[in-house]
Structure 1
Amino acid sequence: MLRAWEQRQAVRHLADELAQRGWLPATSGNLSVKVADDPLTIAITRSGADKQNLSEDDVILVHGDNQVAEDTPYRPSAETIVHTKLYAKFNCGAVLHVHTLYNNLASDVYFQEGSVELAGYELLKALGHWEEDARIRVPIVENYHDLRQLGEAVGQAAEADVPGVLVRNHGIYAWGPTVAEAKRHLEALEWMFQYHLLRLQFAASNRSAGVSL
C-alpha cells in the first residue's frame, strides 16, 4: 500500500529531525501520521525504538481501536491510545509527542495553575492566532501511569484552537491537520516555552540585582 509506505517514511523523517534536535532523548517520545480515515489507521513509532535510527519495521500500522493492523514482532508505542484519542477528536493528520527540557519545566512550574499562558508572542501566528494581543493557555494534565486515563485526560483537555497539551514532567502532545502543520505547531510551542521561561529567569535575576527588565 503506497500511502502506508509514504506515511511510514514521513514518521521516520520526522523522528530523525526531532531526535537531532534532542527532543526525543533516550528512546522517549512517540510520533504518528494518519494513513487512512475509514477505518482510522495510523503509522506510529514502536515502543523502545531509538528515534534517530528508525527502520521501516520500527513504524507500525495501528487502527483507531488501538489494535495492530499488520504482522510484526514489535509493539506500538505504549501511548498509542493518546494518539488515537486526538485523531478521533480532531481528525488530525499527525500527532507528535516529544520530551524537552523546557516543556517539562513549563509543565512542572505551572501544573497547579492547570495551564501555561502564552501572550504577546509573534509565533502565536504559527498556531493560527493573528488577532491583536493574542494569548492562549496550553493545558497541563497529570502524568497518569494508567495510559487509558492519560488518553482520556489529554483528549478532554485538548482544544481546537490550541494544538498542544502538556503532560506534567512528561512532555507535550502537539498535532495538526498535516505533518507540516503539526511540526510547525510543535516548533512554535517549544520556542515560546523556552523564551517564556528564560524571560522569567532573567526577570528574577534582575529583580534580585535591583534592575527592571
Structure 2
Amino acid sequence: MSITLEQRMDAFRRLDEIKLTFAKRDWFPGTSGNLSLKLSDEPLRFAVTASGKDKTKLSPEDYLIVDGDSRPVEATSLKPSAETLIHAAIYKKIATAGACFHVHTVANNLISELYFPQAAFSIQGQELIKGLGIWEENARIRVPIVENFADIGKLAAAIAEVVTPEIPGVLIRNHGIYAWGANDFEAKRHLEAFEFLFEYHLRWLQLRHVAVPQYTH
C-alpha cells in the first residue's frame, strides 16, 4: 500500500498540532520525546518524528514515514527517532492503537522511580481516570513500569510484554511515558490524563504529611 501525498500531509499537520501543544507544556526537554501516527495496518506504516529535532519549532523535515521494522519507506536523509521500534511494538501489540506519544516530564520520571519496585503505579478513585475511558465507580488502574534498557530492541520487547488494551500507557523507569489511543485526539487525552494523575499523586504525597490548619469561627 502506498501512502498518498494527501495522507502524508494530513498526518504531518496533525502531528505538528500535537507537538506544539506539548512543547508549550515543556514536555520535550532537550529534543527528547517522540510522536507517531499510524497510517495503515497491513502493511504497518506510520509517520514518526525525525531524530534530534527541536520540537518547539516547525520545519519541512520534522517527520518521516516508516514500516513495521522502523525503516523509512521513502528516500530521505532523515533518521527516525531512536525509539521508533517502541512505537512499532505498541502498534503490533495493540491493534486499536492509531497514535502513540512519548514525553518526558518530572512527574512521570518521579512516579516511575518511586513505584518501579512494584513494577506498576496504581491509583484509585480519581476523577481523571475517566479520561482513560474507564468509567466504573471508584475505578483503580495499574500502569506498568519497565526498566530503562539502553538496548532499544530489548526495551521495545519489554514494553510489548506488559502493555494491554485496557490501560493505554506504559512508564519507563526514569525515562518517560508512552501513551496511545485510537487516534491523535484520544492519545492526547490519555496522555493528559496520565500526567494529571502523576502530578496529583506526587502533590498528595507531599501534602498528606502537612498538618491541616484548624480554623475557628
Taking structure 1 as the reference length, the TM-score comes to 0.94
User: How far apart in 2 are the matches of 1:128 and 1:203?
Assistant: 28
Secondary structure of 2:165's counterpart equals: coil
Superposition CA RMSD, Å: 1.3
Report the equivalent of 2:36: 32
Residue from 116, 123, 130 that aligns with 2:121: 116
Give the superposition deviation at 1:194: 0.2
- Long gaps (5+) in structure 1: none
Residue 61 of structure 2 corresponds to residue 63 of structure 1: no
User: How far apart in 2 are the matches of 1:180 and 1:73?
Assistant: 30
The runs of at least 4 consecutive aligned structure 1 residues that moved more than 2 Å come to: 204-207
User: How far apart in 2 are the matches of 1:75 and 1:206?
Assistant: 53
- Long gaps (5+) in structure 2: none
TM alignment of 1:38-49, pairs within 5 A: 38-49=42-53
TM alignment of 1:118-197, pairs within 5 A: 118-197=123-202
- Give the aligned residue type for 2:135: W
User: How far apart in 2 are the matches of 1:195 and 1:156?
Assistant: 28
Deviations 1:135-169 (A, max 9, x none): 00101000000000000111111111110000001
Number of equivalenced pairs: 208
Deviations 1:50-73 (A, max 9, x none): 111132321010011211111111
User: How far apart in 1 are the matches of 2:211 and 2:147?
Assistant: 33
1:42/1:62 contact within 8 Å kept: yes
What is the percent sequence identity of the aligned residues? 47
Higher helix share: 1
Give the superposition deviation at 1:10: 1.1
- Give the aligned residue type for 2:55: K
Residue 82 of structure 2 corresponds to residue 78 of structure 1: yes
Deviations 1:162-206 (A, max 9, x none): 100000010000000111000000000000100011001111334
Residue 91 of structure 2 corresponds to residue 87 of structure 1: yes
User: How far apart in 2 are the matches of 1:161 and 1:204?
Assistant: 33
Deviates more, 1:140-149 or 1:33-42: 33-42
User: How far apart in 1 are the matches of 2:175 and 2:191?
Assistant: 15
User: How far apart in 2 are the matches of 1:156 and 1:191?
Assistant: 26
Taking structure 2 as the reference length, the TM-score comes to 0.93
Deviates more, 1:23-32 or 1:123-132: 123-132
1:9/1:56 contact within 8 Å kept: no
User: How far apart in 2 are the matches of 1:36 and 1:4?
Assistant: 11
Residue from 191, 206, 210 that aligns with 1:205: 210
Deviates more, 1:49-58 or 1:113-122: 49-58
User: How far apart in 2 are the matches of 1:158 and 1:76?
Assistant: 23
